[in-house]
A and B are shown apart, each in its own frame.
Chain A
Amino acid sequence: MSLKAVVRTEESARLYMVQKGVARGVPIMLGYLPVALTYGVLAKQAGMTVAEITLMSVLVFAGASQFMGAAMIAAGTGAIEIIIATFVLNFRHFVMSFSFMNRLRFIGLQWKVPLSLGLTDETFSVASMHTEEAKQEKGMYFYAALMITAYSAWVAGSFLGGVLGDVIPAVLSQSMGIALYAMFIGLLLPSVRKELRVGLIAVIAMLVNAFSSQFISDGWAIVSGTLIGGLCGVFLLKEEKQ
């Protein structure tokens, strides 16, 4: 009897975390769908088949680099060049993964490895603003559900873009280009309201990114903004209770 009760609470905790993860993934979904559709359309025009378009989304799962990859394929750029450019553009995920994995330090690799693969700018940002779940029971289901929600939207959107072509009117898809930026703002603002110095960290990162993008590629500029902005946090943020 008591064993059954334990099983039931475990199940409901899991269900609760999955529902919460999907709910937090919806804004990402809203932002990903139009971007993924656009990627599908452009990649089709670049001469890729629907299978290749979808496969790239399944295996790479990093928006900006996929746009770049499709454009470079269309331009007839060599494979090595495309792969190196992808590495540079996506290297920021190494920094992000470091931050997120440090939160999950005491979680087993069987969770850490798949969750690390689901990290994008968007899933990382949402996951990082929900640090409590890392300490809660069945909290890993929250992160997994969040990432799977985003991943499905990305893969399905790319496939549809490749199959259907331009289905969204240009003016609407252009307007939806603001969606992910708005989501980033919506994630950042509550923390800034609680602790003004968080805003200072973000502004420093913005300025470093804007300044360094004049001299280096966008990928490295985001990495340097993130690292230097974060480094200021060492002095600006208070010690956190472990």
Chain B
Amino acid sequence: MILLIILGMSLVTMIPRILPAYIVDKIHFPEWMNRWLNAIPYAALGALIFPGILTVKPDQPHIGLAGGAVAVILAFLGLNNILVVIGAIVTVFLLTI
């Protein structure tokens, strides 16, 4: 039964991922749609960051925000992404111990 669930979950996850690979070959998008698709990554990043970041510690949303603020500062200073990630982890760790 669990195996069946896993296979079903796999199919409904894989098909939406694969379909665009075939579709972009078939149609030519107008220029405004290309701009839309080019803007999608930035919009997706926004939607993935907020409000999800509030749930890092579900009962204390400010802790996620603090970690995010440190990440913003470190990234703004132009630090490597690995250091940005480590800096945010250390911030949340210090706030929760």
* A interface with B by C-beta (< 8 Å): 26-27, 30-31, 48, 52, 55-56, 59-62, 65-66, 69, 73, 79, 82-84, 86-87, 90-102, 104-105, 109, 112-113, 115-117, 119, 121, 124-125, 128-129, 171-172, 174-179, 181-191, 193, 198, 201-206, 208-210, 213, 221-222, 225-234, 236-237, 239-240
Contacts and interface: CB of A to CB of B under 8 A. Distances in A.
Contacts of A204: 43, 46
Nearest to A113: B21
Contacts of B20: 94, 97-98, 100-102, 116
A147 B20 CA distance: 18
B55 to A, nearest CB: 8
Interface residues of B, number: 73
24 contacts: A30-B82, A31-B85, A56-B9, A56-B10, A86-B9, A93-B16, A97-B16, A101-B21, A102-B20, A105-B25, A117-B14, A171-B93, A178-B89, A179-B89, A185-B72, A187-B45, A193-B76, A206-B47, A206-B50, A210-B50, A210-B51, A229-B42, A229-B43, A229-B47
A56 B6 contact: yes
Contact of B36 (A60, A87, A234): A234
Contacts of B82: 26-27, 30
Contact of A185 (B9, B39, B40, B68): B68
A240 B9 contact: no
B44 A124 contact: yes
Contact of B13 (A90, A98, A198, A234): A90
Contacts of B35: 233-234, 237, 239-240
A191 B20 CA distance: 25
Given A79-B1, A102-B34, A184-B49, A190 B75 contact: yes
A112 B85 CA distance: 30
A79 B37 contact: no
A185 B71 contact: yes
A51 B92 CA distance: 33
The 7 closest A-B pairs by CB, nearest first: A233-B39, A229-B43, A202-B46, A225-B47, A128-B41, A182-B88, A205-B46
A211 B33 CA distance: 25
Contacts of B32: 234
B86 to A, nearest CB: 8
Given A60-B10, A98-B40, A209-B47, 18 more contacts: A59-B7, A61-B13, A79-B1, A95-B44, A99-B44, A102-B37, A102-B38, A116-B20, A125-B48, A129-B41, A171-B93, A174-B57, A178-B68, A181-B52, A181-B88, A201-B39, A205-B45, A206-B49
A184 B45 contact: yes
Most B CB contacts (10 A, CB to CB) among A82, A175, A183, A185 go to: A185
